[in-house]
Amino acid sequence: MTTAESPAPITAYEGSCSAVGDGRAVRDVLARVGDKWTLLVVATLRGGRLRFSELQRHIPGISQRMLTLTLRQLERDGLVSRTVHAEVPPRVEYELTDLGGTLLQLSIALGDWAIENRARIEAARAEYDAR
């Protein structure tokens, strides 16, 4: 799920069936959404706006650096808005945009799928590994 790429052609699925669109678009989305923290940040913002330190507290394990990078990407893509309040000490709040809200729906679907099928997947793994 690397971000910086694709001189490659990748014309997968054009025409053949529109179910998933072209591979480039799907990969772009996955590159954004499939990294280690993005969906977790989006999910954490589902309750409304939070400031930087609150986000960090609610996402155990995320480093300051990765939270910053993830938020910058989300902001750049118009999925999250960033509001700086002119105060001392500084207060910066992040909030999902409307577009980010639609992504949230997907992340919930993905999360639900994860919960529902986790046991099945782990059973399959155990069986596979048993050989």
Total residues contacting a second copy by CB under 8 A comes to 71
CA distance 39 to 30: 11
Q: In this chain, which stretch among 11-19, 63-71, 84-92 interacts with a second copy, using CB under 8 A?
A: 11-19
Burial class of residue 70 (count of CB atoms within 10 Å of its CB; 0-12, 13-18, 19+): buried
Query: Using an 8 Å Cβ cutoff, are 44 and 63 in contact?
Result: no
Q: Residue 78 — left, alpha, or beta (φ > 0 → left; ψ -120 to 50 → alpha)? A: left
CB of 99 to a second copy, least distance (A): 6
Query: Using an 8 Å Cβ cutoff, are 45 and 52 in contact?
Result: no
| 54 vs 108, beta carbon nearer DNA | 54
CB of 36 to a second copy, least distance (A): 6
Binding site for DNA (CB under 7 A): 1-4, 35-37, 51-54, 61-66, 68, 71-72, 82, 89-92
Q: Say which entry of DNA, a second copy, none residue 71 contacts (CB below 5 to 8 A, set by partner kind).
A: DNA
